[in-house]
C-alpha cells in the first residue's frame, strides 16, 4: 500500500482519504438499513388485516412496536384519524420527508466521492506525465526508454486507483438509492391502502405509488 502511495505521488493521499471515507459511509449505511428497515411487507399485511377487521387500536400498537419508516407512517396515520384529511396528509408528508431524509443521510457524500475520485486520479496522471516529459526535455531527449516507461506507469497509478475507488462507490450509491426509492413507493402504497380501507379516498402527491403491490416493480405517478 505505502509502495503504491510513494510511487503514485501526492494525489494518492487524497485518494486514500476518499477510499476510507467511502468505506466508512457504506458500512454505516448498511448497518442503518439493516437496523431500521423493519419487516415492510409483513407489517403492511398485518396492519391491513387489523384495519379491515376494525382493530385500528391494535394496528396502531403494532406500528409503535415495529422499526422502520413504514411503521412510522402507519403510526402517524392511525394516531391522527381524528384530524381532517388535509391536516393528516400534511403531517404524513412531513414525517415521511423526515424518514426519507434519514434513509438518504450521507448518500450525497458517497456520490461526491464516486465523481471526484476518477478526476483526482486523472489529475495525478496528468501531473505525473508532465513531470516525466519535463525530465526528458531536461536531458535533451537522451533518455532511456525503460526509465521513461517507468515514469509513465507510475503516473498512471493514480487513474487506476481513482477508478478502483469510484466504481464500487457508485455501485453502492445506486444500491442505496434503489432501496430509498423502494421504501418511498411502499410508503405511498401503504398510505393509499389505509385511505381505501378507512374510506378517506386516494392520496394526492408527486411521489411514486405502487400500482398493485409493493413487491411489483411497476409504479405510476400519484394523481
Tell me the domain boundaries of the chain: 1-123+164-223
pLDDT, tens digit, for every residue of 35-47?
887 777 888 888 8
Asked if residue 44 lies in contact with residue 186, where contact means CB atoms within 8 angstroms, the answer is: yes
- pLDDT attached to residue 197: 82
- Sign of the CA dihedral 216, 179, 202, 61? positive
> Residue 162 burial by CB count (10 A; 0-12/13-18/19+): exposed, middle or buried?
buried
**Per-residue pLDDT tens over the stretch 101-133:** 899 999 999 999 999 999 999 998 888 888 777
The whole-angstrom separation of Cα 127 and Cα 133 is: 10
Contact partners, residue 161, CB within 8 Å, separation at least 6: 4, 8, 12, 15, 121
Confidence band (pLDDT; 50, 70, 90) for 79?
Answer: confident
CA-nearest of 118, 139, 143, 128 to 7 is: 128
Average pLDDT, whole number, for the chain? 80
User: Does the structure show a pLDDT above 60 at 206?
Assistant: no
Which residue, 187, 182, 185, is CA-closest to 220? 185
Q: What is the mean pLDDT of residues 192-203?
A: 71
Lowest-pLDDT range, 7-16, 99-108, 211-220? 211-220
pTM as predicted: 0.76
Amino acid at each position: 500500500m505505502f509502495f503504491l502511495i510513494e510511487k503514485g505521488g501526492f494525489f494518492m493521499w487524497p485518494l486514500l482519504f476518499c477510499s476510507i471515507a467511502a468505506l466508512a459511509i457504506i458500512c454505516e449505511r448498511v448497518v442503518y438499513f439493516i437496523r431500521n428497515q423493519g419487516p415492510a411487507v409483513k407489517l403492511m399485511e398485518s396492519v391491513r388485516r387489523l384495519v379491515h377487521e376494525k382493530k385500528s387500536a391494535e394496528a396502531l400498537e403494532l406500528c409503535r412496536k415495529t422499526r422502520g419508516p413504514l411503521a412510522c407512517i402507519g403510526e402517524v396515520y392511525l394516531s391522527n384519524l381524528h384530524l381532517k384529511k388535509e391536516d393528516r396528509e400534511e403531517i404524513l408528508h412531513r414525517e415521511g420527508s423526515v424518514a426519507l431524509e434519514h434513509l438518504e443521510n450521507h448518500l450525497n457524500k458517497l456520490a461526491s466521492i464516486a465523481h471526484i475520485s476518477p478526476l483526482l486520479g486523472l489529475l495525478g496522471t496528468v501531473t505525473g506525465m508532465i513531470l516525466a516529459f519535463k525530465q526528458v526535455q531536461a536531458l535533451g531527449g537522451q533518455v532511456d526508454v525503460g526509465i521513461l516507461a517507468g515514469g509513465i506507469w507510475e503516473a498512471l497509478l493514480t487513474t487506476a486507483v481513482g477508478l478502483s475507488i469510484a466504481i464500487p462507490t457508485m455501485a453502492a450509491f445506486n444500491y442505496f438509492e434503489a432501496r430509498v426509492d423502494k421504501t418511498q413507493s411502499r410508503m405511498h402504497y401503504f398510505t393509499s391502502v389505509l385511505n381505501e380501507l378507512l374510506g378517506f379516498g386516494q392520496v394526492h402527491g408527486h411521489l411514486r405509488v405502487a400500482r398493485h403491490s409493493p413487491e411489483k416493480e411497476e409504479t405510476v405517478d400519484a394523481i
